[in-house]
Amino acid sequence: MSSVPCAIERFSDAAICPDLWEEALDDLAGAAQSAGATLVLQRTTPQSIAVSASVRPFVDDYMNFPIGDPREARVQPRLDQGFLTDADHFTREEIARDPYYQEFLRPRGFGWNAAAALSESLVISVKRGAPRGPYDSVDLAALNAMLPGLRAVSRIATFAWYSRFHGQLDAFARIGRAALVLDRRERVLAGNSIVPFGDGLDLISGRLRAAHADDQRRLQVFLGALATGGASDEAGHAPILIKRPSGARPLLVDGIASREALRGLHSDAVAMLLITDLQRPVAANTDALVRHFDLTPTEARLAAAIGGGASLREAAGRLGISEAHARQRLKAIFHKTGTRRQSELALLITRIP
């Protein structure tokens, strides 16, 4: 039988590395003197549940059981409560005649549950066999002694997952890529500072909305495929273009599915959406141009302007030099970078981080 400190430590490991959930919940069930344990993020789906080894063989049966689990509607643990048992939600008569308890749980060796909230959306449930009888006050006292440690671990894990997302969002912003984190309901959880809302794409009540109806239909199909973890070559998951009412170049929308975060059960995030503003000039890294190609600062600024789409005359005007001087500098830039034309130079610049 696992000790409580050991069980909480394994629970902490699994919150960051989801492949460890089964072992961690085995340890937790042992420490709680129970036959099994489950961890559920919001409503139960195959993607939002982790189970101990003793429960694993029955997950598919549970998901396909023709009669619903009455606890889904009635059991809603809160953070101001400890572990609650079946008797806190149902009468003995209800349990005795309920098909879920009598036709699903009992034949599989389980009889009683005790559940508690670890966060506003995460619920831990421990289960014991029918012959042992329901959890009593002594059992609940032991379970509630574990609860502060489990909740502390959950808070830390939630912070770690969201810190990871915000770090990724900031990294995309530094390379000029707008990015959003989506949950499994296709709602926006977070975004970086350069998301181009207001012209073609907006955020309404936490959901993305395209300006044109046909784009909105394609966006919904795209987001649906992304939220369910579809591979990039599946129908509906190829990058899409969103037209802009202003007449500017469209927005290119792509995404990266991330099932690992949801499997961690301390984040509802399932994907990161990447938005490329095709109208936005590429911001060249002039320091990198100086460092990698031995350009002078003036040459680096000239190359950056040309890489951003400016003509030679426009670039010269921005730098305050004559067009003839800019042309001479451009020859030196071509030589140092191994390019021959402005289009080659512009392509090279877009590839330098």
pLDDT tens per residue across all 353 residues of the chain: 568 899 999 999 998 888 999 999 999 999 999 999 999 987 777 778 999 999 999 999 888 888 888 888 888 899 999 999 999 999 999 999 999 899 999 999 888 999 999 998 899 999 998 888 889 999 999 999 999 999 999 999 988 888 888 888 998 887 778 999 998 889 999 999 889 999 999 999 999 999 999 999 999 999 988 877 644 444 445 889 999 999 998 999 998 887 777 778 888 888 899 998 887 766 667 888 899 999 999 999 999 888 777 889 988 998 999 999 999 999 999 999 999 888 888 878 777 76
Q: How many Cβ atoms are within 10 Å of 1's Cβ, its own excluded? A: 10
Rounded Cα–Cα distance for residues 170 and 71 (Å) = 41
If asked whether residues 40 and 65 sit together in one domain, one would say yes
Around 124, how many Cα atoms within 13 Å sit in the side-chain half-sphere?
33
Number of structural domains found in the chain: 3
Which residue type does 128 have? R
If asked whether residues 176 and 216 sit together in one domain, one would say yes
Residue 140: inside a domain: no
pTM: 0.69
Rounded Cα–Cα distance for residues 255 and 237 (Å) = 8
Rounded Cα–Cα distance for residues 109 and 90 (Å) = 20
CATH code of the domain covering residue 308: 1.10.10.10
Residue 183: inside a domain: yes
If asked whether residues 122 and 30 sit together in one domain, one would say yes
What local confidence, expressed as pLDDT, does residue 308 receive? 73
If asked whether residues 98 and 203 sit together in one domain, one would say no
> Which parts of the chain fold into alpha helices (H)?
4-16, 21-31, 59-64, 71-74, 92-97, 99, 137-174, 213-227, 259-263, 286-293, 297-307, 312-319, 323-337, 342-350
Range of the domain at 189: 161-277
Burial 25-52 (b: 16+ CB within 10 A, else e): bbbbbbbbebbbbbbbbeebeeebbbbb
Q: Could you tell me the maximum CA-CA distance found in the chain, to the nearest angstrom? A: 94
CATH code of the domain covering residue 174: 3.30.450
What residues contact residue 156 under an 8 Å CB cut-off, 6+ apart?
12, 15
Around 261, how many Cα atoms within 13 Å sit in the side-chain half-sphere?
25
If asked whether residues 333 and 250 sit together in one domain, one would say no
What residues contact residue 26 under an 8 Å CB cut-off, 6+ apart?
2, 37, 52, 53, 54
What residues contact residue 200 under an 8 Å CB cut-off, 6+ apart?
210, 211, 212, 215, 242, 243, 244, 245, 246, 250, 251
Residue 261: inside a domain: yes
Rounded Cα–Cα distance for residues 324 and 240 (Å) = 42
If asked whether residues 224 and 247 sit together in one domain, one would say yes
What local confidence, expressed as pLDDT, does residue 130 receive? 81
Q: Are strands 84-85 and 36-41 parallel, antiparallel or unpaired?
A: unpaired
If asked whether residues 253 and 192 sit together in one domain, one would say yes
> Which parts of 91-178 fold into alpha helices (H)?
92-97, 99, 137-174
If asked whether residues 28 and 100 sit together in one domain, one would say yes
Rounded Cα–Cα distance for residues 82 and 344 (Å) = 65
Residue 149: inside a domain: no
Residue 342: inside a domain: yes
Local structure of residue 119 (DSSP, 8 states): S
Domain boundary among 257, 277, 297: 277
If asked whether residues 233 and 266 sit together in one domain, one would say yes
**Cβ atoms 20, 7 nearer than 8 A:** no
Domain boundary among 256, 277, 298: 277
What local confidence, expressed as pLDDT, does residue 67 receive? 84
If asked whether residues 237 and 316 sit together in one domain, one would say no
Residue 147: inside a domain: no
